[in-house]
Structure 1
Amino acid sequence: MEENIKNEFVMFSYEHILAIVVLIVSLIFLFMLKNKLSDPIKSSILFERLFALSLLMMEVAYHLVLIENGEWNLSESLPIHLCSFSLFFSIISLWTGNKRFYDFIFFAGFGGALQAVLTPSLEIGFPSFKFFQFFYIHAGIIATSFYILWVKKYNPTLKSLLKTMVYLNIMFPFIFVINIVIDGNYMFLREKTTNGSLLDFLGPYPWYILSLEIVALFMFLAILLIFRKWSWHSKGMT
């Protein structure tokens, strides 16, 4: 019990800030290498598959650790959070080269993982495995978003944004029913996270769900406008 208290995660602690800095530095390196990775002569398939495999292995290891510690249960451990879907879509896209999930990864994946990195729903902090797994997985989703943007030349559009919103609203009722059946709180559709997050500013249950939809729409629009403007500016510079 004392060890858990000692290792309790503290938002914006030195370890948390360092994890964010490592993510930013990694994205800078990815941007610097984007031309080499997109060069058809220098195939990036090996890099993509190794990265996809690392994400999969980290997720599998997480569940094995939960099982080993007797912590795995249906109400909390199923991989059906928003970032879980984004993770699996990222792995599939990286391994197969399939572009079908690009819209979801770029908007829902990037938006959800960014919020998770900034306000983590994490109880145990550094140097636990859960700490490293959490940040590696969510940073991996964000990195995949930028990878498909910079290397795969993904072109986000208003149509792709609206498709993502439709996908999310199709998913929510199914996840809500699953939550009721197994007494879960996946995608935080039954209550807010206890660690503090954006949800704390969006009103009481169930109104924060509607508020979150509006916030997600505006967040996706902001992401679209920022990267579309950046793309136009980059083309103007070349």
Structure 2
Amino acid sequence: MMLESEYVTIGQKKKIGEEAAALYFWTPLSKMPGDVKGVPIFSATHLTWLAIALLGCLLAVWLFRKQNGGRRVKILRLLAWILVLGCIFRIGFRIACGVFSPRWDLPLHLCDVMMFVEFYAVYSKKEFPRELVFALGMPGALAALITPGEIYYPFWNIYYLLFIMLHVLLFLIPVLMLADGFVPRVRRLPGCFAFLAVLAAVDAVVNRQLKSNYLFISEAAEGSILDVIQEMFGAWYLPAAVGMVLLIWGMLYGGVYLWRRWGRK
């Protein structure tokens, strides 16, 4: 027989859950209690915020296209500043919390690097940086949003929310560049591949020195698209990952070609 004090209503459970979520809002993963539930890939929470984010991007493109040239420039620059400052804040906050580790937290993953490249692309308006963010930043961000690596964080946590915000912006800015008239060119892809190869070489050296896993060269992130490739190809994981990049480029640039051809009719 339960005592009256042992009964917990649904409303009380909800309140307790909200208080627990608020309690761990600023908590890094290394200090998170083991019983705190994260957000699994393709869970209801993940699919809900992903759908909202993608619909928000569509709305942003629609509103962006209605602006004149001057306002478009200001919007892109504002988003670029939010993106790069968010990345810097994330690193600075980890330092302030005493949990920063060169093994895990240097901005050497593809998406981290592309955040700074996007900032440069927005301000320089040069074609090659814009090609980089279209060919590498945009698909990388979309892949991260579809299969996020921050699965052990609860939704209501600063690191998880920063992850969403930064990767949505990383995806959105190249899309807005396309809406502003940028035209991707296949002839720039060798340069994009060279950029990726140089980054991989740098990360390989860093990984060897720090025993880290930047660019997921040593091992794929759990639950990611690369994880599926690693399961399928085993020791041939890296060549298969390169093949996946080429396949994505084929779909991206094939789509651009068909869009431009359809647009002329």
CA deviation map 1:80-122 (0-9, x unaligned): 1000111111122224434331111001111211111111111
SS of the residue corresponding to residue 179 of structure 1 reads helix
Aligned equivalents of 1:125, 1:166: Cα separation in 2: 37
Q: How does 1:154-193 map to 2 (within 5 A)?
A: 154-193=182-221
Cα distance in 1 for partners of 2:215, 2:251 equals 22
C-alpha distance 200-44 of structure 1, shift in aligned 2 (>3 A): closer
* TM value normalised by structure 1: 0.89
Where does residue 196 of structure 1 map in the other structure? 223
- DSSP 3-state at the match of 1:6: coil
1:78 corresponding residue in structure 2: 106
Partner of residue 225 from structure 1, selected from 230, 246, 254: 254
Identity level (%): 20
- Between the aligned partners of 2:234 and 2:205, the Cα distance in structure 1 is 16
Match of 1:9, SS state, is coil
Q: Which residue, out of 118, 127, 136, partners 2:156?
A: 127
Flag the 1:36–1:156 CA change in 2: closer, same or farther, 3 A: same
Q: Letter of the 1:92 partner, please give it.
A: Y
Cα offset for 1:233? 1.8
Mark the runs of 5 or more structure 1 residues left unpaired by the alignment. none
Q: Which residue of 1 aligns with 2:74?
A: 46
Q: Would the aligned equivalents of 2:39 and 2:45 in 1 still touch at CA under 8 Å?
A: no
Q: 2:97 aligns with which of 66, 69, 75?
A: 69
User: How many residues are treated as equivalent by the alignment?
Assistant: 232
Q: Output the CA distance in 1 between the equivalents of 2:240 and 2:125.
A: 35
TM-score, normalised with respect to structure 2: 0.80
2:104 maps to 1:90: no
Q: Partner amino acid for 1:202?
A: I
Shift of residue 69, structure 1, vs aligned partner: 2.4
1:108 corresponds to which of 103, 125, 136: 136
1:133 maps to a residue whose letter is L
* CA deviations over 1:45-79 (Å, ceiling 9, x no partner): 32122111211221122112212322211100000
Give 1 or 2 for the bigger CA radius of gyration: 2
Q: Is the 8 A contact 1:4 1:124 kept in 2?
A: no
Q: Report if aligned partners of 1:79, 1:85 keep a CA contact under 8 Å in 2.
A: yes
CA distance in 1, matches of 2:217, 2:161: 26
- Please tell me whether residue 56 in structure 1 is matched to residue 67 in structure 2: no
Shift, 1:217, TM fit: 0.4
Give the CA RMSD over aligned residues: 1.9
Distance 2:209 2:235 in 1: 18
Q: CA deviation at 1:218?
A: 0.6
